[in-house]
Amino acid sequence: MLPKLDPLLHSELRLAIMSILAGVEEADFNYLKEQTGATSGNLSVQIDKLAEAGYIAVEKGFKGKKPCTTCRITPTGTEAFRNYVKALKRYISAGK
């Protein structure tokens, strides 16, 4: 039987955010927006969903006078992401 895929990570944009954050120490909102091609509103909503699940930590502050939002993957998020990738690999190998 194939494992269930985490519905929170099965969203294209949330998966993209997690993939980026899994490879860096942290990323600011503008970097995530640039890398994903998402609108500010959609990115903000998806970041909130990931933060509510405990998958990412969000820090809001300022760089000079400009607001700055920085995101980091949490240990819970890292585990969820690894499990998701592991499950996808099982799906891929099931057809062989």
- For residue 53, what pLDDT is reported? 98
Could you tell me the residue ranges of all domains in the chain?
12-85
- For residue 73, what pLDDT is reported? 98
Count of other CB atoms within 10 angstroms of residue 32:
21
Mean pLDDT computed over every residue of the chain: 95
pLDDT in tens, 50-60: 999 999 999 99
Q: Which CATH architecture has domain 12-85?
A: Orthogonal Bundle (1.10)
Q: Which residues, 6+ apart, have CB-to-CB distance to 38 below 8 Å? A: 13, 32, 46
Give the pTM: 0.92
pLDDT tens for the chain, 96 residues long, are: 888 999 999 999 999 999 999 999 999 999 999 999 999 999 999 999 999 999 999 999 998 899 899 999 999 999 999 999 999 999 999 876
